[in-house]
A and B are shown apart, each in its own frame.
Chain A
Amino acid sequence: MSQSAAGGEGAPQVLPEGKERQRKRRRRKKKESKTRLVRSSLLLPEVEPDKSKRTVLACNRLKTTKYTALSFLPKNLFEQFHRLANVYFVFIALLNFVPAVNAFQPELALAPVLFILAVTAIKDLWEDYSRYRSDKEINHMECLVYSRNEKKYISRYWKEVRVGDFVQLRCNEIIPADILLLSSSDPDGLCHIETANLDGETNLKQRQVVRRFLELDSEFDPLKFTSVIECEKPNNDLSRFRGYIIHKSGKKDGLFKENLLLRGCTIRNTEEVAGIVIYAGHETKALLNNNGPRYKRSKLERQMNADVLWCVLILLIMCLFSAIGHGLWVWQYGEKKKPIFDVPGPDGKYLSPVLASVYLFLTVIIVFQVLIPISLYVSIEIVKICQVYFIHQDKDLYDEETDSQLQCRALNITEDLGQVQFIFSDKTGTLTENKMVFRRCTVSGIEYSHDDNAKRLAMYQEPDSEEEEAAPKGGTLSQRDSICSHQSIKVIHRSQSTKTHRRTGSRAEAKRASILSKHTAFSSPMEKDITPDPRLLEKVNECAKHLEVMRSHEQPLTHLSPELCDVFDFFIALTICNTVVVTAPNQPRQKVRDRFELKSPVKTIEDFIRRFTPSRLTSGSNSSSSSSLATSKSMHRFGLSTLSSTSTDSTLLKLEEKLAYSAQMNNNGYSSQQGKMAVGGAPEEGELRYEAESPDEAALVYAARAYNCSLVGRLSDQVSVELPHLGTLSFEVLHTLGFDSVRKRMSVVVRHPLTDEINVYTKGADSVVMDLLLPCSSDDPRGKHQKKIRSKTQNYLNLYAVDGLRTLCIAKRVLSKEEYGCWLKTHLEAESSIENREELLFQSALRIEKNLHLLGATGIEDRLQDGVPETIARLRKAGLQIWVLTGDKQETAVNIAYACKLLDHDEEIITLNAESPETCAVLLEQCLQCVESKFSNTIDGATGSMTVGFTPLYPPSSSVLSSLGLVIDGRTLAYALEPALEDKFLALAKRCRSVLCCRSTPLQKSMVVKLVRDKLKAMTLAIGDGANDVSMIQVADVGVGISGQEGMQAVMASDFAIPRFRHLEKLLLVHGHWCYSRLANMVLYFFYKNAMFVALLFWYQFYCGFSGSSMIDQWYLIFFNLFFSSLPQLITGVLDKDVPAEVLIAVPQLYKSGQNMEEYQPHMFWMNMIDAMYQSLVCFFIPYFTYYDSEVDIFSWGTPIITIALFTIILHLAIETKTWTFLHWSSCIFSIVLFFFVALVYNASCPVCHPPSNPYWTMERLMGDPMFYFTCIISPVVALLPRFLYRTLQGTLFPTQLQLGRQLSKLSPETRTQLLTELNVKETICQTRLFADSFSPSLGSNASDCYKANNQSTPLPTSPQTRESLFREHAKAEHKTNQTVAASPPGAVLYEENKLPSSASSMERSMGLHEIRCGTSEVESLPVGTTFPWSSAVDQADFSLLKWITSTPLFSHIGTVLQVSSSSLQNETQDSMCVLGSSLHVDFKGLKEESSNNFQDKMKGTPTDHCKNDNSETTFL
């Protein structure tokens, strides 16, 4: 067996190279064996012959380096010669060694090539070294491996771990290889792992010891392990592991993924585990999921290479032309009449014209080689390194919290950052901080807004969330519609706020604390220290007091008021309805265990009966916990059989009477328990730490603790809760019905220690829980009350959702014992059934989770990282399409998407959830059709608006139009990614503004990215922080890792690692743009420069018989590119800033220039070529005609030409340079000085040393000749005049966006901001108008009536002078009035609208009327005396509401129309508006925000109007 294992596994350690893999695959095909056999390495001596092979196979060493010390030179050279250019240059250099064709001194010609190869080699060496270091770091991590010799676990390096080794891991250690779990310190044989490094999910996952080893009574001893494990070949499927273990006895046990610990995960909550290594090193699932690194070549480079090919073509044409020319030239003299200057070959024979032209062809290739810019590649590398350096150094990309800065890991794709079109983002840890924080809650219909808590959170967050919290609290609002309508408004408002500065002090503190507590998940102080809402706290205390009194007086709990009862239950539910494990901090590896007897949860009826009867006393002092497991299992069958045999009735009867007993029993037991607790010394609550499967649970438990209701212990059957006044209560957990995504809820069934009732606490998504509530009749007052509570709660839930909070409903159900018994019976049946157990359990859960009583709801914030919504908004403005690919569940993902403004509430959302490929296909088809039809409508509408309204500056792009969001889950995604459907999927996704893929696997993520990259030919960027994002990061054109949060794997795979998501903004918008524009300009310049230079030589061929001679000395020729002209362009390539950073950030639209490749379009290459041609003609012919028919010798004429060329080239660069720092100046001056210096030195150095050229004293002599200077002045001027003129005219008449942006930077800051706001306003108008016009209008006829009604009830005196102050007073006066003020004016609005020939939709009408009704009814109830503020109120408020209505997307068209008319009102409204806004009630929060929002709009209104006029002018230019 083992032989086959060794043979089948023959492939040595898997190198990332594809070849290796292929070979392995081939070999694998040959061998039939599809499984791997693993046996203990301690038994190795028995299989000695295989040892060598085995060790090779099993190495856990990680190796990602490309070279070794020996292989570096050949391998690197080999790789460098993959670059065609290098081959070309070497070929040309070697060509120089052929005497017949040589143009230069061979050694000299070789120099540049060697130089360039060396520079690249050094760079590669450096890169590989850094990889080596990181590998080494990982390889030298330590873990405990069992040693045969020492008979214990000893510390070893990771790289020494082999397959078959036994590894022991402690809590919080990282797993070094894929390990089969054989033993755990947990008595249940469980082990928790955190797979964050693997899939980004921070929740703990349970792993189980292989069954047979669980039943071992003694401790696991590796030496006794004789079983053989047969399992799958290494594969990359994280969610699958199959195999079986064959024991010596011949018995087989199945192995599942629950038994496997995966490399890269972290052990949590378990003191010690041990296991045998199954896969090691590159065979581990984690590493197999890492697709090998892809050689990334930037888009610009690809384009550049295409142009290099054009250059080659041009070169060949030039050479061919010269060759033919030379052939003709030779031919014209004929055989006989060889001229004296046509030198025969060394053998004295003349070449035939054909042969001469062939030779000449090769010669001119050498001479013209400069056209293919040899220094281009090396210059680009240098520029990129410098760009990377500057990106590194940017302070804005430094995160002080983690003390980390941006890392550029790929040096060759910086410019791709400036061209990104699609961003694929991970969610957890990328967009969010992955810290769940309890934010607010509502209990029995009363909202506790937790202002202090909000403030506390705001300390961590940007302060602008405070203003939201400052809104009045605790009011009631029954109009659900109005809230809904406000939601979208608020969202808009929030996204507009741009305050992002943080309070760094608290951050730093948080960081320090989080370092301290790093070894437990979800326990940053931000999550833990929840500030309770005083009102709620008061109620809790009151409740607790009541309870205490009641208990001491033996009163039943029912005396408690229903509200307090709800509060009490609410917190009990928060505390116990979860699977949170309590640990003590000083021994974080151990669960806190109470000293009570261990009891297993109810497993059988018998068990239940036993535990609910005083039989405990009879069966012994206490039934031992350890035995209970075994007995319960054995009784399982028995119980079942008895159950089936006996009649149900009798069982229930028995149950009933026993329950009665137990009630007494428990009442007695209560006080004793408490006493025990005190004796046992319950750990202080502050020290306890909660470890939860999901961060939400922990957040809720911490929240409850803030209200002194703290979870102090959890056993498998019992939860202890400490309460104020009451002490510790122990809840017997009868069942835990775990969370599943279909039910979307979880429940615990407990026995309440106080009431001794059986309670079901359910916690779940509001959508499901609200439907499961006990239907209440509206007749009796109680039912009415309940109904009211429910509608209120629902309102608050909606509010929470709008705020981006994750909402959970908490409900409870009190079960009578009969009910419970009844349910228990079926439940146990379900539990014990073998076939479709899951299904039955599900049904069973459904049966108990009904007729619930709503307790309340919570809002948990999965805190977004700083500035994520702003960043996303700006990136969107920059034309980037953002997709979120997450492994999270759909609801969470959608919630976060809303929170970070990825989805908008006024956006239509397409959700794709398909069960099969067929349904998926149908769904896609439908959606596509629907979208298409919608699109055509919208476009029609839009074009319609153009003729009517203001002329848009640019035709609307589809991205502006689409207000669609696409949500797709993992399974559907899998279908959609199949070749048959992927086109449709893409077509749909393209139309959507945002795409959200939930529950996607790492591989799916990468497939999505690949799909977009390949099919849409778009530039993609993937950003993520976990190992689950690695493949996506690698597939994308640009991979960005978030460093600092989770493991380093994403960072290792990424091209750029940034500390925070928000840094992406500057990285892309500023650095990306700069890098792109710099490099694009540099590349274009390079082409120009070389073409211009080579053309000079080409023109000369016409005057030297196409003989391939050059008037420029070979030294200048060879080193011109490398030394004389390279520095200025490098400086410009590194430092030039076309638009300053502030403007790029402020105007994200400028980023589009990179996406559209505006800086380097194909025609620009040709434009530059033509310009180069012209310039070279000038630079050639001015000296030519000047020196024509003179005594000038070849080098005395060539030297001015190269001088002129140098001047021209540098001045050309000067025209193209946008920013001149002293470095630019000095580099230009340096280049020229260097040229003259070298020329003078070289021309004076020796008269003979550089045959065949001999420029001795040429430069010196030229510099004494005035003609030299005159020529050098006029030629560049004439050469550059056209370009200069073109740039001037273009910059003045048709400036590009970038040029305008540059102009913007010259303005004073005030003017700039003003202009920018205008710009933004314009944009929103543009966007909203399109929606507005797609809407078919209908007249709001009711509106005027309403207004009349309003008018009647409130006479309108006019007192313009005083109304403002009056209003202010009034605003302060009372809530109610304020409401009226705010609510009533829609009538006025509508009235106004009616006057205007504009339109109001039916929807608007209904909303408006709603408000009016509410308003009028209350107005009527007002005392007549309060009429005085009405004029102002109406004036002010109608304005605000007018704004409010019109600024909702649907009506914005009207808004824009009205804006002009309303701007006159604006000044009067300003002050009072503020007052109105701040004192508004919470119910009107949305309204208020909107009004202030509109206020801002109005502020912008006036300039907008102006600029509109201006624009209409300029666009018609």
Chain B
Amino acid sequence: MKNKTSVLPGEGEAQPSRCPDNSAFKQQRLPAWKPQLTIASVLSTFFLTGAFCLTVGVCLVLAANSVREIQIDYSDKCSDCSRFRENSSNWNKECHCSVNFTLKEAILGDVFMYYGLQNFFQNHRRYVKSRSDAQLLGRNVKIQRSYCAPFSTYRNGTPMVPCGAIANSMFNDTIDLFYSRNSSVIQVPLLKTGNSWWTDKNVKFRNPESYNLSSAFAGTARPPYWQKPVYLLDEEDERNNGFVNDDFIIWMRVSAFATFRNLYRRVRRVRDFAEGLPAGNYTFRISYNFPVAKFKGRKHVILSTVVWSGGSNPFLGIAYLVSGTAATLMGFVITGIHLKLRKKKTYFQKQ
């Protein structure tokens, strides 16, 4: 190759040569790793991947199997109430129903209670955005310009608080759990709070500043489907009332799918339930307010424990196992191919 320094002795000094730098970058000669995807070089990858996936898969499956879960569909069992709710004129009347079930074995550890909905498209585009975060932050309760329409104000101009379709359609069944032991019925102590994300409860949702909640929400009205205004969501607990109500916060976190569950309560581990839920007969007493028959929805109530890998869904573990197996098998197959081919060398061929 040419030598840069040998450019015209006289002129080269006077005016710098335009010869490009001989740097690795500019000459595209950067040191590089040039992997070749051939069987020999990737064999180990297959086996390593296989081994890793199998290991993880086994762990995940074991973890998922250790989860105890009870899921009860109460939309059929409370068909009376369901029909009762079909009629929208009954909106402010109460309807109760009970659902019994028996635990053959005790559920040990933390027990979480969920309500589950099927066919409820919380992820509908217009539904998802029908909310006002500014309002929920308590900054501007009577917000006008937002994505809440048509659930932002009433015809007379009274703003809805909280506004938007999500808030309006809030799940409002009340579920209580009773434990029948020796013919005595004990209400299972349930925790209402601490179920939502800490950041939601403390950052995203705030009640407006005021000396009391009702005055903070003065001049506003409850959403049309609600039975009570927002400042009466939890009259017992000041820190669980208004926008910072856990049930409300959880509902506002719209689910990804049309079939979903939301954490409703946790079993408080005291007295009989210190170890979890003991075996025996239980009853859910449900105040049936949320109509689902209209959209062919179903409602569940779920009791479940939780492990490090989440819930009882074994899918991920199985996926790991399957792909681990597949990778290992492929590894064997290509090893076979490799061994068969090893003797024959491929030369560079002319075209």
Contacts and interface: CB of A to CB of B under 8 A. Distances in A.
Interface of A: 103, 333, 337-348, 363, 390, 392-396, 398, 400, 403-405, 504-505, 508, 511-512, 953-954, 1103-1105, 1107-1109, 1111, 1135, 1137, 1141, 1147, 1149, 1152, 1182, 1184-1194, 1196-1198, 1215, 1218-1224, 1247-1248, 1251-1254, 1256-1257, 1260-1261, 1265-1267, 1270-1271, 1273-1274, 1277-1278, 1281, 1284-1285, 1287-1289, 1291-1293, 1295, 1297, 1299-1306, 1315, 1318-1319, 1322-1323, 1326, 1507, 1510-1511, 1513-1515, 1517
Interface string B112-127: 0010100011111111
Interface of B: 1-4, 6-11, 17-22, 26-28, 30-40, 42, 45, 49, 53, 56, 60, 114, 116, 120-134, 137, 139, 146-147, 149-151, 165, 168-169, 197, 199-200, 203-204, 225, 250, 253-263, 291, 294-295, 297, 308-311, 313, 315-316, 319-320, 323, 326-327, 330, 334, 337-338, 341, 344-351
Nearest to A1140: B34
Contacts of B18: 398, 403-405
Contacts of A1267: 309-310, 316
B19 A400 contact: yes
B313 A1247 contact: no
A1307 to B, nearest CB: 10
Which 7 A-B pairs have CB atoms at the shortest separation, nearest pair first? A1252-B129, A1109-B125, A339-B295, A1197-B256, A346-B149, A393-B26, A1257-B199
A505 B37 contact: no
A349 B40 CA distance: 66
Contact of B121 (A341, A1135, A1326): A341
Contact of B295 (A337, A348, A1188): A337
A1272 to B, nearest CB: 11
A511 B7 CA distance: 11
Contacts of A1306: 34, 36
A400 B2 contact: yes
B8 A511 contact: yes
B321 to A, nearest CB: 10
B309 A1194 contact: no
A1511 B326 contact: no
A1189 B37 contact: no
A1111 B348 contact: no
Contacts of B263: 1191
A924 B345 CA distance: 49
Contacts of B133: 1247-1248, 1251, 1254
B222 to A, nearest CB: 15
B351 A1111 contact: no
B255 A1289 contact: no
B30 A343 contact: no
B6 to A, nearest CB: 5
A394 B27 contact: yes
A1137 B30 CA distance: 11
A1221 B30 CA distance: 6
Contacts of B30: 1135, 1221-1223
B60 A1270 contact: yes
A1188 B257 contact: yes
A1270 B318 CA distance: 12
A591 B40 CA distance: 78
7 contacts: A339-B294, A342-B124, A403-B11, A1105-B258, A1248-B137, A1284-B42, A1295-B346
B204 A343 contact: no
Contacts of B259: 1188-1189
Nearest to B60: A1270
Contacts of B137: 1247-1248
A392 B20 contact: yes
B254 A1104 contact: no
B59 to A, nearest CB: 9
A17 B6 CA distance: 46
B121 A1191 contact: no
A1305 B139 CA distance: 67
A390 B28 contact: yes
B294 A340 contact: yes
A363 B126 CA distance: 11
Contacts of A1189: 116, 257, 259-261, 313
Contacts of B165: 340-341, 343
Given A395-B20, A953-B350, A1185-B315, 6 more contacts: A1188-B313, A1191-B250, A1198-B256, A1270-B60, A1304-B348, A1510-B347
A1214 to B, nearest CB: 9
Contacts of A1273: 56
A1517 B28 contact: no
B299 to A, nearest CB: 13
Contacts of A1185: 313, 315-316, 319
Contact of B27 (A395, A505, A1247, A1277): A395
Nearest to B310: A1267
Contacts of A1105: 121, 123-124, 258
A1109 B124 contact: yes
B347 A1507 contact: yes
A845 B18 CA distance: 54
A879 B259 CA distance: 61
A923 B165 CA distance: 85
B197 A1257 contact: yes
A1293 B39 CA distance: 9
A341 B124 contact: yes
Contacts of A1261: 197, 199
Contact of A954 (B36, B45, B256, B350): B350
Contacts of A1193: 253-256
A1107 B125 contact: yes
B1 A1302 contact: no
Given A512-B8, A1289-B337, A1302-B34, A1194 B125 contact: no
A1297 B256 contact: no
Contacts of A1184: 257
A1251 B139 CA distance: 15
Contacts of B225: 340
A1188 B125 CA distance: 19
A819 to B, nearest CB: 58
Contacts of B250: 1191
A1224 B309 CA distance: 35
A1296 to B, nearest CB: 10
Contacts of A341: 120-122, 124, 127, 165, 169, 295
A394 B18 CA distance: 11
A1513 B1 CA distance: 39
Contact of B199 (A346, A1218, A1256): A1256
Given A340-B225, A1109-B125, A1270 B56 contact: yes
B309 A1188 contact: no
B351 A393 contact: no
A347 B347 contact: no
A1274 B323 contact: yes
A146 to B, nearest CB: 37
B125 A1108 contact: yes
B28 A1291 contact: no
A1288 B34 contact: no
A1212 to B, nearest CB: 13
A1152 B351 contact: yes
Contact of A342 (B22, B40, B127, B345): B127
Identify the interface centre among B2, B17, B311, B348: most chain A CB within 10 Å of its CB: B348
B150 to A, nearest CB: 4
Contacts of A1111: 123, 256
Given A345-B150, A1271-B316, A1292-B39, A1194 B204 contact: no
Contacts of B338: 1292
A6 B346 CA distance: 76
Given A1220-B32, A1277-B53, A344 B124 contact: no
Nearest to B351: A1149
A1297 B39 contact: no
Contacts of B22: 395
